[in-house]
Chain A
Amino acid sequence: MNLQLGTLEEMILIILLMKEETYGVEIAKEYKHQLNQSISLPAIHVVLKRLEKKGFVRSRMGDPTPERGGKGKRIYKATPQGYETAQALQHRRTEIWKTIPKLNFSHQ
């Protein structure tokens, strides 16, 4: 099983960790709010499915709500494994970032 994370997968996993429990449409809203960039619902769903396959998120059917015309939604929640992977990724990135020479003006 592939435990690597794509950029979009990682972003959505982080949103899931932030929200504890959430679902497709809300993720789309949060994504837009955070990144100022809109994303289509189908794209989110496919990423969620992939994450679920990799074992980073769990899902269950939630209760119907009126704004969904009385239809239920699939609620997603990140697993401890998802949390660890995301955290490891952040750590590794911070480590690498630290190695960039400080006060290097040529990049500014």
Chain B
Amino acid sequence: MNKLPSFIEWIVQSLFSDQVQEEVRGDLEEEMHNHNADHTNLQIKLHLLFVTLGFLRYRYIWRSSKSSIFMSFNHTFRPAWRNLKKDKVSALLNGIGLTIGFSLSLIISLMLIRELSYDQWHSKSDRIFRVTHDEQSTGRSNRHLPTVGPPVGPALMETYTEVENYVRFRDIPTQPVKVGSNSFYESNLYYVDSTLFSVFDFTLKSGDQKTALRLSNSVILSDKMAKKYFGDESAIGKRIEIADTPYIVTGVLNSPPSTTHLSPGFIIPFHAFRVPFGYPVTLNDWGWISFDTYVLLQDKTDRDLLHGKLDEFIKVHWSEERVGTFKFVLQPLEDIYLGDVESDVVASGSWTNIYALSITGFLLLSLIIFNYTNISIAQSLNRSKEVGVRKALGASKSMIITQFSMESVLLAFLAFGASLALLIPTLNLLGYSVGVNVDFYEILSFHNWLIPTWILLVLLVGLLGGAYPAFIMSKVKALVALSRAISSGRLGLNVRKVLVTLQFIITIGLLAGSIIIYQQISFMRDKDLGYDKSSLAVLRVPGPALLQKADLLKEQLSTIPHVSGVAIGGGRMDGDNGSVPIKTPDMEESRPMFIEAVDYGYFETLGIPMVAGREFDQSFPTDSASAVIVNETAAYLMGYATPEDAIGKAIRVSDIRISANIIGVVADYHFSSLHNEIGPLAIVYPRTMLEDVYIRIEPTNLLTLVENIEANWNDTFPELPFDLIFLESYLDQLYHEDVVFAKMFQGLTMITLIIACLGLYGLVSLITTQKTKEISVRKVLGANLQDLLINLFRPFALRILLAMLLVSPLAYFLLTKWLNNYAYKIEITWWLFLIAGCIVLITALLATILHSLKVYRINPARTLKDD
């Protein structure tokens, strides 16, 4: 920065007297230069703003009050401020409502921006594309994979001049990492090409970008990992062991912004990658679809050009029968996070949440504006005398409008200031309680248009809220206003009725939504998964280690008291299964089915019944080579009328040329989260694929039990880290995002309910004040509290009913859309809206009772004595 920001110039020019302007500007410029070196632009701007505003404290340098800005300041702000102070209760009610509203809108807008700005921090983000393998558009299957074969990246760069560079990521599943004498299980390990730094904007905190990935035993750690292992010491040159292979740390990454879909913890040079033992492929295999490949194009418009040429590319490198079965699609980097190409390796977001968030945010903001208008109308009606006096003294219509709008804008800005002050604590609280992590400063540093936009929005809210009362008050004739006829008039009541009905509509809609969301989440938590998920502990063991000692471990664990069963499987019921095309002689063509590996006795321990046949058995030596169990869904998909028909049939796995006989059909159980339907599943029995030991435990002191298991573990595998989870809590993580969403939605609903009640309270207070005389007369004539309440409340009840009828179809439509995200969902019942309406009705009734009691207690003699 080498010039004063224009807004500072403007402040100086408009507020300071000519004599000191030069001095102040000079000081500010010097201050700016002094700060330039070690502060960001934003920090300097804020600092300059504070210094400039600091000068304001000293009156001697102010512009003389003859200047126009000061004139209007004196004539609008002063009375506005005085009026706010005069009517403290309404100002407080309004202020609280606005503060809550602004805070929420701020948070929602920050979250939305964060979700929408993933990966935009890379300077070349518009030219980076991920090469994806698409079989959807060719109709062969419903697969759209984020990965391609290892030779694709280099070949693309060699063939097409449009491709400037490429980088490949190969994800490594969780590995034991040994540092000194400590071992840990770590994920987020990748083999990555050394072009990483020239394509992406990842940078090294220490180490040399050019050489860090040169040697095949080098590894780059993320900042977090380096801290975890070495604390404040430099990690460079330190030795760590990943899966028993030694590596030397050659670099530490700077933490990337949190809006990144790739967050590697360990980066190993790609050339160090060896094909795992037993894989029937090589690094030249075009069909080994397991490598995330990103290409950097010369120009972002080259994408369409390249799409046209890629069919030709496929023809050159693939055999004739594969051509036409799939396509390559270049997916823009910025679309990956929210895109629909599924991958379990990288972070992803959902458009549904974004829509839901923006809709609720918008509704909330409008609710606040309505509410604000409501209360300010009520407030302004009590001020008709003031307006009368002003008018009698010669105030014009526009002056009255300016005055009222100024007041409301001033209040809006005060509330905005309060919500800004509350923002950071609220965000921390949110991160702590709900798990939503939003870094305010990070977002602000990438989007500096945010603050001006917010200020405009606040101005708009203030103007909209103040506009209506300002207009009706400006219309009042001075004589009428002074003759006090207006204080009992019905000014603005119709608008307020409409606004209150709108508030009810919004509140009932959100309430119905949050009930449905709550029901859906508890439905998923309580749903029968087809097996008994309670009291199951799962111990993860790396495949090769387990292979050697599986039987030993099983035997030892079974001897621990309160362990009632031990079985071994190949996954944690989280849907992390591969799928392969499977065919039986009775089928026309092969269909993709999920694959799982289990040991003998697995289904019995987990409590999953066999529908037909038997499960794997140690006493049948042929099981491990040529037996397969399928689930019911698979049996029906294969075309068998009953599960029994499937027994004994041979199946073929087409790609890897394995065939096996079906020995049993197992009842359907949920092997992945409830977002997906139960798919066809083929279960095999090779011990090489096993890695999870399921331990069924009886109710007991869990702590001692876990200690026992760990002691046992340390005897069997002294070298390996102990990784035990309880399946039930682990499965809850699968619904983490849904729970966060539900919590947020419920919070928002609660707040709208509160705000709507505030508005209602305001309206009731206006009506009762206007009806004080009527009520007194009724009381004199013998009305009791009940009659009074019915009289007051009837119009509200009708309006709530109307709101309920109006909102039901719309809410029904939106909620059905939301529920369609889930394969297993609840039905929306008609009485849902009735319940939501009743809740609003009861709250409204409470607000009415509160206020009418106050009026009821007034002695009728006091209100009637004037007439």
Contacts and interface: CB of A to CB of B under 8 A. Distances in A.
Contact of A67 (B30, B51, B54, B58): B30
Contacts of B23: 24, 45, 71-74
Nearest to A59: B23
A43 interface: yes
A74 B61 CA distance: 13
Contact of B30 (A43, A61, A68, A74): A68
A25 B30 CA distance: 7
Given A49-B60, A69-B3, A41 B26 contact: no
A40 B26 CA distance: 15
Nearest to B25: A71
A41 B31 contact: yes
B55 A68 contact: no
Interface in B40-97: 51, 54-55, 57-58, 60-61
Interface string A41-78: 11101100100000000000100100111011110000
B33 interface: yes
A40 B51 contact: yes
B27 A69 contact: no
Contacts of A71: 22-23, 25-26, 29
A69 B26 contact: yes
A42 B50 CA distance: 10
A29 B60 CA distance: 24
A69 B4 contact: yes
A42 B30 contact: no
A53 to B, nearest CB: 9
Contacts of B31: 25, 41
- Describe B's contact surface by its main secondary structure: helix
Contacts of B61: 45
A61 to B, nearest CB: 8
A64 B29 CA distance: 12
A73 B26 contact: yes
A42 B25 contact: no
Nearest to A72: B22
A59 to B, nearest CB: 10
A30 to B, nearest CB: 13
Interface string A1-34: 0000000000000000000000011000000000
Contacts of A74: 23
Nearest to B59: A46
Nearest to B29: A69
A41 B51 CA distance: 7
Contacts of A40: 51, 54
Contacts of B30: 25, 67-68
B834 to A, nearest CB: 61
Contacts of A67: 29-30, 33
Interface in B471-487: none
A67 B30 CA distance: 6
A8 B645 CA distance: 97
A72 B26 contact: yes
Contacts of B58: 42, 45-46, 49
Contacts of A41: 27, 31, 51, 54-55
Interface size of A as a range: 10 to 19
Given A46-B58, A49-B58, A68 B29 contact: yes
- Describe A's contact surface by its main secondary structure: helix
A68 B27 CA distance: 7
Contacts of A69: 3-4, 25-26, 29
B26 A68 contact: yes
A69 B3 CA distance: 8
Which of A46, A68, A73, A74 has the largest number of chain B CB atoms within 10 A?
A68
A74 B57 CA distance: 19
A24 B54 CA distance: 14
Contacts of A68: 25-27, 29-30
Nearest to B34: A25
Contacts of B25: 68-69, 71
Contacts of B34: 25
A49 B23 CA distance: 13
A59 B61 CA distance: 15
Contacts of A72: 22-23, 26
Which of B3, B4, B33 has the largest number of chain A CB atoms within 10 A?
B33
A73 B29 CA distance: 11
A44 B4 CA distance: 21
Given A72-B23, A73-B23, A42 B29 contact: no
Contacts of A43: 54
A26 to B, nearest CB: 9
Contacts of B4: 69
Nearest to A26: B30
B581 to A, nearest CB: 71
Contacts of A61: 22
A61 B20 CA distance: 10
A42 B57 contact: yes
A5 to B, nearest CB: 19
Contacts of A46: 57-58, 60
A72 B30 CA distance: 11
A74 B21 CA distance: 11
A60 B54 CA distance: 23
Contacts of B27: 24-25, 41, 45, 68, 73
A45 B20 CA distance: 11
B3 to A, nearest CB: 7
A49 B61 CA distance: 10
Contacts of B33: 67
A22 to B, nearest CB: 13
A39 B637 CA distance: 79
Nearest to A49: B60
A40 to B, nearest CB: 5
Nearest to B51: A41
Nearest to B3: A69
A41 B27 CA distance: 8
Contacts of B26: 64, 68-69, 71-73
B336 to A, nearest CB: 45
A71 B27 CA distance: 9
Contact of B55 (A25, A42, A64, A73): A42
Which of A43, A64, A69, A74 has the largest number of chain B CB atoms within 10 A?
A69
A42 B51 contact: yes
Nearest to A40: B54
Which of A25, A42, A49 has the largest number of chain B CB atoms within 10 A?
A42
A82 to B, nearest CB: 20
Nearest to A69: B29
A43 B61 CA distance: 13
Contacts of B55: 41-42, 45
B777 to A, nearest CB: 62
A73 B33 CA distance: 15
A67 B26 CA distance: 8
Interface in A81-102: none
A48 B507 CA distance: 59
Interface string B163-177: 000000000000000
A71 B30 CA distance: 10
A5 B57 CA distance: 21
Nearest to B2: A69
A25 B31 CA distance: 7
B577 to A, nearest CB: 61
Contacts of B29: 67-69, 71
19 contacts: A25-B34, A42-B51, A42-B57, A43-B54, A45-B23, A45-B58, A45-B61, A46-B57, A49-B58, A61-B22, A64-B26, A68-B25, A68-B26, A68-B29, A68-B30, A69-B25, A69-B26, A72-B26, A73-B26
Given A42-B54, A72-B26, A73-B27, 18 more contacts: A24-B23, A25-B31, A40-B51, A42-B55, A42-B57, A42-B58, A45-B61, A46-B60, A49-B60, A61-B22, A67-B30, A68-B27, A69-B3, A69-B4, A69-B25, A71-B22, A71-B26, A72-B23
Q: Which 10 A-B pairs have the closest CB atoms?
A: A71-B26, A42-B54, A69-B29, A68-B26, A42-B55, A46-B58, A25-B30, A68-B29, A74-B23, A73-B26
